[in-house]
Amino acid sequence: MDTFLALPLPLWGGIIGSLLTYAVTYFRERRKLADAYRAPQREAVAQILAAANELKVSANDVITHSRQPILEVFKAGTSNDAATLAQRNFELALLEVERAFAVGKLTVVHPQSYRQMILAYERYSTVRRSFDTPELAQRDGWKRFMERLDGQLQQLDADCAVLVAIGQDHLSPKQGLLRTAARKGVQKQVEDSKRAATETKGP
């Protein structure tokens, strides 16, 4: 110990400088590694959200066509081809949601995010199972099916919103303590503003 304390000051300066450099580098690299760990999970969640949004749009398109009469001469309406194309796009959107969830299952490893993703996938599975019904062979069956489906799609949308909210806390780019605290402060301000606006409107 005495020998160690007897080291020349320049050597002490080198040791202290090396330790400081190591500390700065360690936290910087740790942040980079954490972000590299989170980035693909963020992308997977974004793909699920995008696919769910596309499914809603295509479902609305099918509902619009199913409510219109078949186009006749000099009368407004929709054609069988247009209605069939809308149904086809809805089927493709279903497959895209399936693909997005498959990627998510392979990518998302954060426990809370994974749990919420599976809950959303179960909601989607309900939508997909209800799609395989005999009544879809008829145009009126499509109308009844899509009207029932609306509530399920709204629930799927809510599940995806929760998934994104969880990702904000656990999958966002890794930042320093000050920026993280500042972001949480802004989030709280936004939530308080929404709550105040809701209370002002009343029931």
Tokens of 98: 């399936």
The 10s digit of each residue's pLDDT in 71-88 is 444 444 456 677 778 888
* CATH topology assigned to domain 15-170: Four Helix Bundle (Hemerythrin (Met), subunit A) (1.20.120)
What is the residue whose two structure tokens read 């320049």? 10
By residue count, the chain amounts to 203
What is the residue whose two structure tokens read 């599976």? 118
Alpha-carbon distance 91 to 84, whole Å? 11
pTM of the model: 0.70
Say if residue 46's pLDDT is above 70: yes
Alpha-carbon distance 9 to 56, whole Å? 70
Instruction: Specify whether the CB–CB gap between 183 and 175 falls below 8 A.
Output: yes
What interhelical angle do 9-67 and 111-131 show, nearest 10?
A: 20
66 — pLDDT class (breaks 50, 70, 90):
low
Domain ranges of the chain: 15-170
101 — pLDDT class (breaks 50, 70, 90):
very high
Torsion angle, CA of 48/141/86/160, rounded to 10 degrees? Answer: -10
Alpha-carbon distance 196 to 199, whole Å? 5
Max avg pLDDT among 15-19, 100-104, 159-163, 194-198: 100-104
N-to-C CA span, the chain: 74
The 10s digit of each residue's pLDDT in 102-136 is 999 999 999 999 999 999 999 888 888 776 666 55
State residue 74's pLDDT score. 40
